[in-house]
Every structure is written in structure tokens, then in C-alpha cells.
Chain A
Amino acid sequence: MSNATLTTPPILAADERVGQKSTMSKLLGRPEIGALVGAIGLFAFFALVAPTFLQPSSFATVLYGSSTIGIMAVGVSLLMIGGEFDLSTGVAVISSALAASLFSWFFSFNVWVGVFLALGVSLLIGLINGIILIKTKLPSFIVTLATFLMLAGLNLALTRLIGGSVSSPKISAMDGFDSARAVFASSVNVAGVDVKITVFFWIAMVLVASWILLRTKVGNWIFAVGGDANAARAVGVPVAATKIGLFMGVGFCGWILGMHNLFAFDAVQSGEGVGNEFLYIIAAVIGGCLLTGGYGSAVGGAIGAFIFGMANKGIVYAEWNPDWFKFFLGLMLLIATVVNLVVKRRAELK
């Protein structure tokens, strides 16, 4: 009894090695922290140089611009955490919109038929990308570059073949157009400001993706296949299914954005979309997703897209020459990548 005090186990919470990790350093360990600091800095900067930037209506415009990148960045971020790339996303969005438009128009169906056909097309593009990647074991850069070129060609060729023009026929008079527009391209009045519905899609998708990534088995597998696919396979993770699923997730995001493009403008230019794939990748990278996989977050991709939206519209509100936009984008990409590199090194080293 006398030595009872001696055998009392030490208080676990007071482990001196844990205590040294402050809230600050914990925060700095998050993948999206660099992007968050950048976003706050950029916001403050534009708020100073362009007072109109702070008006609610301008802010709604910035959010809309961000959402059109952000919706895709959700899927692309997850794919990048899973260790793969997709260069076909930009044109795949247009393929989806064209599929819905041309199919409904050619057969004079209700546009909703086309909308669901387009969903099938988008998922199929993801499935094909994924299966080719798994079967050939080629880098995703090459596989999706090939899909990118093929889709770009198909968009132009099929649109001319079926619709007889470089843009899809107008479908605004067709059955179901108004209801589809209400779902994919309407505005919601929030405290006197019209906010585009895509902003809400974007936020919902980021929340769902974060949930999947951090709180489900599949999320664990995504990190694992991106971090070390061989190790993941050795402990029984379905690597092929996870990667194919990620490509199909990107397809789903492309469908949402494609439908928005179609019903917002009621016709789609078949040559559009080329180059947009880089914007989605840039948003994911700025948001802290490692190019090599295994690290990142859905929220990071969203912040990356928001930075993009702010820089894009902020330059207009500041009444500068938009030529500067690309310079900004490149600079932010460079800084973000360097920050990511430092984070990864610190995570790997003891």
C-alpha cells in the first residue's frame, strides 16, 4: 500500500513530447493552410485596391466564377490525392453538355433524357480513363492526354455531323428545358443578392468529398493508393477499383458543370473547354494537393478555386489590364508548389 503512489501511471495527456506541438504548428501541418493564408491575403489586397470588390453583388460574382472551377476541382483534388492526373476534364465537360444537347435535339426528346444520357457519357469517360490506366499501367498523364485529344476531336466532328454547325443547336424551346434550367442554372436570392445555384452545388460537393475523404473507408483507400499503391495492395485495398472510381467521380463533376454550361447559355461551342483542365489542376495544387499523390484535401481544392475566382474577377474590379491575370496565376502556382514541397519534406523527415 505504501508504494501505491509510486505505481500510479503517469498522466498520459502530459506526455512532454506531445505538449510541444502547439495549436499553431498543428494548423501549419494542414494541407490547405498555405492556400488559406494566400486567399486571405488576396482578399485583403483586392478589398484595398478595389472598393467595389467588397459589395455583396460583386462578391456573388466572384463566388460564381470560383464555383465553375471549384466544382471540377473537387473531383480533380480527390483524383490527385489518389495519385493520378486527368487532362481530359476540360473537354469532357463540353462532351457531356454536347451529348445532352445533341441527343435531345436529334430525337426531339425531353431534355431530361439527354441530361441523364450525359451523366452516363461522363461516367463512361471516367471509367474508360480508369480502365486504360489500370490495364496498361501507363502514366495517367499519357492516358488522359490521349483521351483529351480524342474527345476534343469527337466534340467537333460529332457536333458538325449531327447539328451541322460548330455549336450545338439551341434547345431553349424544348420540353423540360425550363425545369432543367431551374436545377442547373438558376439563381437563389440570399439576403437581397442573387447567388448562382452552382455556388451551392460547389459547397455541397466539397462537404460530401471531405466526408468521403476523412470519414469513410474509401477515403482511407484514396490516401493509400496515392501514397503507396503497392503497400495498399499488400494490405488488401482494392487499388484498381479505387482509382477507377476516382476517375468516374471526376466524370460526375464534369457532368454537373457541363449541364450548367448547357442550360445557362442554351447552346455550347464544340471547340470550348481546351485548357480548362489546367485550371482545375492548378486549383487543386494551390489548395495543397501533392502532384505525387497521397496528400491533400477537398477543402484545399475549394480554396484554390476561390483564389482563382478572386484573382480573375478582382483584376476586373480593380480596373487593371486582364493580361496580368495569367502572371498572377503562375506566381501563385509557384508559391503553392514550393510550400507543398516543404510540407511534404517535413512530413517525411523525422
Chain B
Amino acid sequence: MNAEKTRKDHISNATLLQGETDPLTDRPVHLLQLDGIGKHYGNIIALRDVTMAVDNGRVTCVLGDNGAGKSTLIKIIAGLHQHDEGTLTVMGEERKFSSPRDALDAGIATVYQDLAVVPLMPIWRNFFLGSELTTGFGPFKRLDVEKMKEITKNELADMGIDLRDVEQPIGQLSGGERQCVAIARAVYFGAKVLILDEPTAALGVKQSGVVLRYILQARDRGLGVIFITHNPHHAYPVGDRFLLLKRGKSIGYHHKKDITLDELTGQMAGGAELAELAHELEAMGGHTDILAEVEKETASIGGESKAK
């Protein structure tokens, strides 16, 4: 029960800052901060004026439909692309990552949709792939198999993953479990910022729930999480901040305390589109009471965005 209570306190949204300030300017420092970030490919503007922040133990959700610029954004943070405008700061220091390795060294790890796991290899070999632990010297330098298995098992147990056997091929795990191994791997190898690229996109309802729980686990271990998704129902329960993207532009950046799930969904779908949908439904002879509700919602969203 006690653990439950501390967890509740931990995710309290009274303040999203960690109390750290820049000694010179006395302004709050975020773990990762984007300020007016923009990116264009030739004359095509992929991303424009995006501002967001990530803190330790907080989840920042990036929401948007297909083509909204979500992947451009994560590619900039992960070091695959470089931004053309604005600033990207890590722990108060301005950075521009030249390669994924560069971003990784700064503590930014990305778990892509394809996860970068080798299906036929055992879980523990996948966990340590590319960063194997060895023991012994010279020609007798060998893998420290026992230690790696133990660490894998413990790390996954810490994430709340109850594993049958770390020897089994990772391909035998469910999509959600594989996602979690990839997350646990990033956490173990010193990630401070974890970018999750649509982790729930290919999963069923139950598996998505499992992954969402692991996102909270990662958050509770003090990581700053960037959760990319197009599903507000997945984002709202775990997120602390929400960045909404549409056609390469930020259409809203909210703290959880300032927004409800309905408003979030409404903004994502876009007030104008909802109104259009209402007209269409009306023309087809839909239920009038539902239509009235949709229209009311449209009006409220419209009013709100005008107020801003």
C-alpha cells in the first residue's frame, strides 16, 4: 500500500519541473528542451517552430496523425537528422547531434518500431548485443555468460517482466514483451532520455496496456520518456505533457492538468474536421442527439483555441 502512495506522489502534476535552475540565468533547466525547432528538406518544410521539454521521471507525449512530422521530430532528437532552426538543449547545454552515436552518448536512446532485435537469438544475447560483457584476457577472453543472463533476468524483473527463460529466442516473445526488452536494454545501458516510436501501434488492446505499464516503469526509474503515438487514449493515461503536431506544426502543447482526454482527442481530430463530420452525418440521417453533442464539442474546442 505504501508503495502505491509514493507512486501517486511521484506522478503528481503539481509541478513538472525538477527544481533545477541554470546558475547564470536562474531559469529552470530541463533534461531535454526543444525551442522553436524547424526542419526543411529543400523547399519542403517538414517541421516548424516546435517547442517541448522532457524531464526526469516525466513522460512527454508527441501526438499527431500520419504525416504530422512525428518521425522528423524524433529523427532530430535521435541524431539521424539535424534541425535547421531553433535550439535543442540537453541539461541546459545547446547541442546538435551529428549521428545516432552522438545522441546515444548524450544519453538519448531510441526504441524504434522494428526494435533492433534478432528474432532467432536468445533474449540475453539480444540484450547485450553490441555491448557484450567479457571475462579473461588475451585469447581466453570470453563472454561472461552467467553474469549476462543474471543481469538480463534482473533488469527485466525490475521492469516487471516475468520471464520464463532468458535462453529462449526473443522471437518467441509477444510483441509487447519484445518492446519491453528493448526498453529495458536502453535503460540498462545508461539512457537518460528514452524515445519510444509508436510502441503500441502494432499491438492489441491487452499488449498495449502492458507496454504502457512499462513506460510508467521507465518513468518511475527516473528516465525522461518521449512517447510518440497517434492514439490519445494511450497517451493520456501515461503522459505528463502533450505536444500535438499537425502538418509539421505544433497545434498545442499542454500540461496534463490543463487538458482532458476529450479535449485532447478533439484537438487531434481538429475542430473543423469534426464539424464537417457532423454535417456529413446529418446529411446521412444520423442520431440528432449525438450530433448535437458533437456540435457542442466543436464549438467548445473552437472557443478554446480562439482564447489561446
Contacts and interface: CB of A to CB of B under 8 A. Distances in A.
A219 B143 CA distance: 9
Interface stretch (B69-77, B164-172, B222-230): B164-172
22 contacts: A17-B165, A211-B142, A215-B142, A216-B134, A216-B141, A217-B132, A217-B134, A220-B143, A221-B129, A224-B125, A228-B117, A230-B114, A234-B116, A235-B129, A236-B101, A236-B130, A294-B118, A294-B121, A348-B119, A348-B171, A348-B172, A350-B174
Contacts of B172: 347-350
B contact face: mostly helix, strand, loop, or mixed: loop
Contact of A347 (B101, B117, B142, B171): B171
Interface of A: 15, 17-18, 21, 211, 215-217, 219-221, 223-224, 227-228, 230-232, 234-237, 294-295, 344, 347-350
Contacts of A236: 101, 130-131
A348 B117 CA distance: 13
Interface in B95-150: 101, 112, 114-121, 125, 128-132, 134, 141-143, 145
Given A217-B132, A350-B174, A231 B118 contact: yes
Nearest to B142: A215
A223 B174 contact: no
- Give chain B's interface residue range (CB within 8 Å of chain A): 20 to 34
Nearest to A294: B120
Nearest to B101: A236
Contacts of A223: 118, 120-121, 125
B164 A17 contact: yes
Interface string B158-192: 00000011000101111000000000000000000
A21 B165 contact: yes
Contacts of A227: 118-121
Contact of B132 (A220, A344, A349): A220
A338 B132 CA distance: 33
B164 A18 contact: yes
Interface of B: 101, 112, 114-121, 125, 128-132, 134, 141-143, 145, 164-165, 169, 171-174
Nearest to A215: B142
Contacts of B164: 15, 17-18
Nearest to A208: B139
A230 to B, nearest CB: 8
B120 A347 contact: yes
Contacts of B141: 216
Contact of B169 (A17, A217, A347): A347
Contacts of A228: 117-119
B131 A224 contact: no
A130 B120 CA distance: 24
A164 B243 CA distance: 78
Given A18-B164, A220-B125, A221-B129, 6 more contacts: A217-B143, A219-B143, A220-B121, A224-B118, A347-B172, A350-B172
Contacts of A235: 116, 129-131
7 closest Cβ pairs, A-B complex? A227-B118, A236-B130, A235-B130, A234-B116, A231-B116, A215-B142, A228-B118
Nearest to A235: B130
A232 B129 CA distance: 7
Contacts of B125: 220, 223-224
Contact of A348 (B120, B142, B145): B120
Nearest to B115: A231
B107 to A, nearest CB: 15
A236 B174 CA distance: 24
B121 to A, nearest CB: 5
Contacts of B173: 350
A93 to B, nearest CB: 27
A232 B114 CA distance: 12
Contacts of B116: 230-231, 234-235
B110 to A, nearest CB: 9
A39 to B, nearest CB: 24
Nearest to A212: B142
B164 to A, nearest CB: 5
A230 B100 CA distance: 14
A231 B145 contact: no
Contacts of B112: 234
Contacts of A221: 129-130
Contact of B129 (A211, A215, A237, A348): A237
B162 to A, nearest CB: 9
Contacts of A17: 164-165
A18 B162 CA distance: 12
A227 B145 CA distance: 20
A77 to B, nearest CB: 15
A237 B118 CA distance: 12
A216 B118 contact: no
A224 B119 contact: no
A260 to B, nearest CB: 25
A215 B116 CA distance: 22
Contact of A232 (B118, B143, B145): B118
Residue with the highest number of chain B CB atoms closer than 10 Å, among A15, A21, A215, A295: A215
Contacts of B101: 236
